[in-house]
Amino acid sequence: MPQRNAPGARRPTLSDVAREVGVSAKTVSRVLNEEGVVSPGTRARVLEAVERLGFRPNLMARNVRVGSRDSTVGLIVPELGNPFFGTVAEAVEKALRARGLTLVIGTSEEDAERERQLVRTFLDRQTGGLIVVPAEPVGPHAGLDHAYLGEERAAGLPVVFLDRTPTALAADTVLSENRDGARAGVAHLLGRGHRRIAFLGDEPAELYTRRERFAGYREALAAAGVPEAPELVVSGHDSAAAAAAVRALLALPEPPTALFAANNLATVGAVTALARAGRQDVALVGFDDLPMAEALRPGLTVIAQDPAALGREAAALALARLDGDEAEPRVVRVPTRLVARGSGELRPG
């Protein structure tokens, strides 16, 4: 009788079978895919170990390599309500569809344990590859890392991380140039005479994108010889919290003359708070473009990311791995660009 895994146990991998038989993972792959020359004795031992361990050959991944239309790639994002991740998902889907592949999407809701459960679900269904936006490092599962995917990667499963870096795992990763973009946005405000520039960031402070954008903010101030003002650094995870944070900034004895909003939801909150306060004299630069940015008066200056390019690059990395690319993990950085709208000049007063 085969020794199947208990419910919830880790799925046996190609590497497990190879270790059991004492051969390479490539040899096991040749046996399962009926490719290449393998001695009858080795073939029999591999098939016996496959049966005994309860290993399920990932036929889906093999189908992906030959372009089967019933193959799937899993994408895990924090949420789909954020237009940024919706655009990412659309770009990934288009790139995969061109190869006859199907995209399956799950949302982690910024919970690391839910992310891990989704990964297990996708793997149990023999998904041919994974593209993951890591959940924020907060809450009861903040200590979880991605090392558990190491054996899956070693066994040939394409794993690509997007927008944020993985923890405790070297893997293909696609990122925006967060630090450079933030530096450019704050330098834009400094160049227009502003010295009291507030930073409105995401929560938590440990989040990769928040850390990188805050570093760019600090670097721009330092380059201009402007001292940091701790009271001007605030957070807001969603637009309502960001609006509340801006109201608190405007109530300071010495309020900021400009705001740098470090993500699209923070920008929406800042726009709302400034409009309600009737403060058109406060300049604003947002990280991420918004559909309404050009319609605002004055126009909204932004650091535009390219979420579609992020999605395309992530899909390209996954497809390359499925096609047999065995190079070391790589990091692809997608440039941002400053889109200047309105003057943003410091107004005397």
CA quadruple 81, 90, 172, 119: dihedral sign? positive
Measured distance CA(223)–CA(188) in Å, rounded: 12
CA quadruple 210, 290, 130, 117: dihedral sign? positive
pLDDT tens digits, 20-35: 999 988 888 888 877 7
Measured distance CA(120)–CA(157) in Å, rounded: 13
Asked if the bond preceding 204 is cis, omega within 30° of 0, the reply is yes
CATH architecture label of 1-53: Orthogonal Bundle (1.10)
CATH architecture label of 71-175+308-334: 3-Layer(aba) Sandwich (3.40)
Please give the share of the chain, as a percent, with pLDDT higher than 70: 87
Of 1-5, 287-291, 297-301, 311-315, least confident by mean pLDDT is: 1-5
Q: Which of 288, 281, 278 is nearest to 334 (CA)?
A: 288
Q: In whole angstroms, how large is the CA radius of gyration of the chain?
A: 24
Say what the pTM is.
Answer: 0.76
Over 90: is that where the pLDDT of 163 sits? Answer: yes
pLDDT of amino acid 2: 41
Please report which confidence band the pLDDT of residue 220 belongs to, taking 50, 70 and 90 as the band edges: very high
pLDDT of amino acid 64: 45
What does the angle CA 14 – CA 321 – CA 170 come to, to the nearest 5 degrees? 80
Residue span(s) of the chain under CATH 3.40.50.2300 come to 71-175+308-334, 178-306
Greater confidence (347 vs 336) lies with 336
pLDDT of amino acid 305: 96
CATH code at 178-306: 3.40.50.2300
Dihedral pair phi/psi, residue 332, rounded to 5°: -105, 125
CA quadruple 28, 34, 38, 44: dihedral sign? positive
pLDDT of amino acid 151: 84
Please report which confidence band the pLDDT of residue 158 belongs to, taking 50, 70 and 90 as the band edges: very high
pLDDT of amino acid 295: 59
Token look-up 């996708």 returns: 122
Measured distance CA(263)–CA(259) in Å, rounded: 12
Strands 159-162, 172-176: pairing is parallel
pLDDT of amino acid 259: 97
Residue span(s) of the chain under CATH 1.10.260.40 come to 1-53
pLDDT tens digits, 56-80: 665 444 544 444 434 899 999 999 8
Please report which confidence band the pLDDT of residue 341 belongs to, taking 50, 70 and 90 as the band edges: confident
